[in-house]
Structure 1
Amino acid sequence: MRPLPPLAAVRVFEAAARHENFTTAANELGMTQAAVSHQIRLLEERLGMQLFRREKRRVILTDAARRAAAGIGRGLDEIEAAFAELRAEDQGTLTISTTQTFANAWLAWRLGSFQMDHPEMAVRLLVNNNLSDFASEGLDVAIRSGIGPWEGLDAHRLLTQDFTPMCSPAFLKRHGGHLTPQDLTRLPLISAHDPAWRQWLSDAGIDARPLNVPGVRLDSQANDGHAAMAGQGVAILSPFFWRMDMAEGRLVRLFDQVSTLGHAYWIVCQQHRRSVPKIKRFRDWLLTEMDG
């Protein structure tokens, strides 16, 4: 451990030495004159030597303190420069974590416009479905599905996570061109283990407890949607993410009914960083894009 005096006292000494005036130093540091005197006294007691001579209404640096003040000033300048460089580096890269579905079905298609609006900033996108650890992963923001809000996190709701069955036009044609909710209990369902299936079928008045149908089991809605487009079965998908695929005829929405498990997508960051400029810029851009 370095045997250094408290940094707060060092800062006070440097300002008082530069001005040779406790009142002026106090004004610069946003402190009272009494607080400056107290810090100087603590530092003198720690060092076992006098740093200022008090003469009437002024203070004068001792010769030893004057020699030390120059080096301390240079040291604080280097510390300030190092932190300035660190802040500049942090502002130069935005690190986002999100799920496979949100990235593949929506964000990756639009993130380029944010980059074009902020060419000075590099954007790093991490895609996984695990919970995020902001500190260990170096994240600025995360986009996740859940109930929310979460203690210690600043959270903004993006959209309700609802869902409804979809399939490819070819799959629908192979099965007569028209389906009822009851038909779903005998057709191949993609990721039939997903609780969304049971919720949707229950809301449609179908007893889904004995649901045991063939179909592939995948790990994300993004993969479910592409499997459905490939004609592998019926997937339970959020209409918001698949609007383009429905509009361009790659997917067919089978029913008007949508259901939800009460989850939503949120953009979250650490509360103490919610006003960091790059985070605020991305959050404002994302909320505007979601409303568009």
Structure 2
Amino acid sequence: MKLPPLRAVQCFEVVARLNSFSKAAEHLNVTQSAVSHQVKLLEQYLNEPLFNRSGRSFSLTDAGSRYYHEVSHSLTSLASATQKIRFGEPGHIRLALYSSLAVKWLIPRLESFKHDHPDIDLTLNMIVDESDFSERVADCFITTNPPKGAFASQFLFAEKLYPACGKTLWQQLKNQPLPNELWEHPLLSVQYSESEQRTADDWQQWCESGGLTLPTNVKINHFSHVILAAEAARYNLGITLIDDFFIASQSDNQLIKLPLYGVETGTKFYFVYKKSRAKQSDIITLSRWLQAQWAEVKAKTS
């Protein structure tokens, strides 16, 4: 496929569309002589005059008119295809995030987002810890491992875990001395790694944060995901450590946050997108909405 000099084609299209060499130069942010040079270059390449020139006035030749309609359509298609690759389909955003955030926090709020922004179609995609930050996966991400370089990151919140249990178990605990009474019930621990050795690092960290010692004889049940531990706690199978957003997002109030201190794990969550899409209105809207939602959670749980 042999293409004409594209810069020259662009200059010709703008001159023909604006019917002015001076306006075309201003639009392209170049000199008028540079525009004239590019148009002459294209005419030489085509071996055909594109404009009838008479003093300061000019008009398209028949060949120029036919060529303008063809290249105008082609340049519009090229610009549209480029915009879709750089910025995605207008009004449609694919957001990739962890399943725990999606299921327990974002999905319950989607109705609110759709009500406030009916022109944006938000699609969710699940990711694991080491996500492929590619547009094949999503247009933007919520992650704890923000990439560098071509990506922009906006801080959302820092994870802070609190002991929580189901309503029935809470009835047994609420009049008992805490935290000592915790050790009389199963502790639900989350361990994401596939190591065969079972540990309770989350509960160890919580105890150390409060100057406590985790008893060696306490019963610990292990789960591979926080959603599983949270559901087990809801059904009164023990006490788990969970972030505020889980508790704040539930509609049935079956998970009770115990009146005990929380521990910051050091894990931080970020909203991530390509820097080239920083001015995309849909991305800006979603970013502001996410910030507002977490501010609301913080206000409810502080």
- TM (norm. structure 1) is 0.78
Q: Deviations over 1:33-56 (max 9, x none)?
A: 1321342354456x2847479979
Superposed counterparts of 1:133-282, under 5 Å = 133-137=133-137, 139-146=138-145, 150-172=148-170, 178=176, 180-181=178-179, 187-193=185-191, 195-207=201-213, 213-219=219-225, 221-243=226-248, 245=250, 249-282=253-286
Query: What secondary structure sits across from 1:284 in the alignment?
Result: helix
- Structure 1 residue 290 displacement after superposition: 2.4
Unpaired segments of 5 or more residues in structure 2? 192-199, 297-302
- One-letter code of the match for 2:243? S
Contact 1:154–1:271 under 8 Å retained in 2: yes
Distance 1:114 1:50 in 2: 56
Query: What secondary structure sits across from 2:123 in the alignment?
Result: strand
After superposition, the Cα gap between the structure-2 partners of 1:154 and 1:181, relative to the gap in structure 1 and judged at 3 Å, is: same
Query: What secondary structure sits across from 1:136 in the alignment?
Result: coil
- Structure 1 residue 236 displacement after superposition: 1.0
In the other structure, the counterpart of 2:93 is 94
- One-letter code of the match for 2:284? K
Distance 1:289 1:242 in 2: 14
- Structure 1 residue 238 displacement after superposition: 0.8
- Structure 1 residue 151 displacement after superposition: 3.6
- Structure 1 residue 102 displacement after superposition: 1.5
Contact 2:187–2:221 under 8 Å retained in 1: yes
Query: What secondary structure sits across from 2:270 in the alignment?
Result: strand
RMSD between aligned residues = 3.7
1:109 maps onto 2:105 in alignment: no
- Structure 1 residue 142 displacement after superposition: 1.7
- Structure 1 residue 184 displacement after superposition: 5.2
- Structure 1 residue 229 displacement after superposition: 0.7
1:73 maps onto 2:69 in alignment: yes
Aligned length: 284
Distance 1:20 1:119 in 2: 40
- Structure 1 residue 115 displacement after superposition: 0.8
- One-letter code of the match for 1:278? D
